[in-house]
Amino acid sequence: MREWSFKRNDHIPPIGRKVRNNMTNQQEDGIWLHCSNSAVRRASRRLGQLYGHVMGDSDLKSTQFSLMSQIARSGEPTLKNLAEAMVMDLSALGHTLKPLIRDGMVELVPDERDRRVKRVRLTEAGTAKQQELLTLWRDAQSRFDQAFGKEKSAELRKALALISSAEFAEAFTKS
């Protein structure tokens, strides 16, 4: 057996200070308690895993389900608008759509008035699949609400929507 040092969260060492920390448990101090970016990414990994497991062996990843749900919700958005809504780089969106297009879940249709523009649309199969997975998604979301608190859950989403907004980006950048 190795000699373990014990948790001591009383004096929080500054970022990047070496502590020779061999602790196994999760409660230890970490960068995510100091860096909002790290904190959000870390949580997104956890939720990706959690929601993903609920989605299970369905053909779609939780990210794909999100994207398709947003497409359905938007009607028939242009790539540009969809990218903005998802806070995603336009080219990243293009790449992300490829597997969905390949699998016949989504199709791109040229806009009639502006030949530069392409609109994103769920195929019939895509719509059906999205509807089908709604049940699983609801299970995941209700588990989340249960574990985190329905109230706090809604508040959190609102806070995150604020952070994701263009106005926030503006404020962050200009200051």
Partner DNA sequence: TTTATTTACTGGTATATACCACAAAATATG
Partner DNA sequence: CATATTTTGTGGTATATACCAGTAAATAAA
Residues that bind DNA in the complex, under the rule CB under 7 A: 41, 45, 48-49, 52-53, 61, 63-64, 67, 78-80, 83, 87-96, 99, 102, 108, 111, 113-119
Site for a copy of itself in 129-168 (CB under 8 A): 130-131, 134, 137, 140-141, 143-148, 152-153, 156-168
Q: Which of 2, 102, 115, 116 binds a copy of itself (CB under 8 A)?
A: 2
What is d(CA 64, CA 53) in angstroms, rounded to the nearest whole number? 14
What is d(CA 30, CA 38) in angstroms, rounded to the nearest whole number? 10
Distance of CA 40 to the CA centre of its chain: 10
Site for a copy of itself in 31-60 (CB under 8 A): 31-51, 53
Beta carbon nearer to DNA, 93 or 140: 93
Beta carbon nearer to a copy of itself, 61 or 101: 61
What SS3 class is residue 120? strand
Q: Which residues are within 8 A (CB) of 25 and not within 5 positions of it... i.e. 6 or more apart?
A: 7
User: Least separation, in Å, of the C-beta of 44 and a copy of itself?
Assistant: 4
Q: How close are the terminal C-alpha atoms of the chain, in Å? A: 52
Contact string (CB under 8 A) for a copy of itself, positions 69-108, x = contact: xx-xxxxxx---x--xxxxxx-------------------
What is d(CA 72, CA 133) in angstroms, rounded to the nearest whole number? 13
